Amino acid sequence: MGSKGHADDFGLLSTLDCGEDVGQPRKLNGSSVETPSHQDLHRELLLSHKRGLVLEEKPELKRVLEQRRLELHREAELALRRPSDLETELRKRQLKMQEYEQEEIRRREDQKKIPEFVRVRDNLRRTQTFEH
């Protein structure tokens, strides 16, 4: 394993090392640059923000909550708004289609309830009246 004072791949002393400077940050293997100070990191963050290089300006949770809030607000506005003539006509047509479909389902269920010999007899009567 690593000897005393050597850093592992993550810049930390390995757990088997017993160095005096365990709390001190260590530089990575092959790195000649010392760990940047807090001020340098802050300065770099400010510059990247000014240039527009910040990847995410808000945390994901805040963005999701804000998006949900905006969607709810849009839905509330749509609910308060009076429907247009086109929307009204489309709604009427949709209701008529639903009524027709329900009526068709009821008719089919009623046909299933009628015994088969009665249906066959009715079909025979219809064919006989068409032939005469």
Encoded tokens for 124: 């025979």
Tens of pLDDT, residue by residue over 35-74, are 668 888 888 888 877 776 555 566 788 888 999 999 999 9
Residue 33 and residue 25: Cα distance in Å, rounded? 12
Can you tell me the mean pLDDT for 1-8? 47
Per-residue pLDDT at 101: 97
**pLDDT at residue number 110:** 87
CB atoms within 10 A of CB 8: 16
Mean pLDDT of 28-33: 52
The pLDDT of residue 11: 47
Q: 73: which 2 tokens?
A: 């607000």
So what's the pLDDT on residue 112? 84
Percentage of residues in the chain with pLDDT exceeding 70? 66
Do 20 and 14 contact (CB within 8 A), yes or no? no
Coil/strand/helix, residue 59: coil
On whether the CB atoms of residues 18 and 4 are closer than 8 A, the answer is yes
* Closest listed residue to residue 6, CA positions, set 17, 25, 15: 17
Q: Is the pLDDT of residue 9 over 70?
A: no
Q: What is the pLDDT of residue 69?
A: 95
Q: Specify the pLDDT at position 63.
A: 85
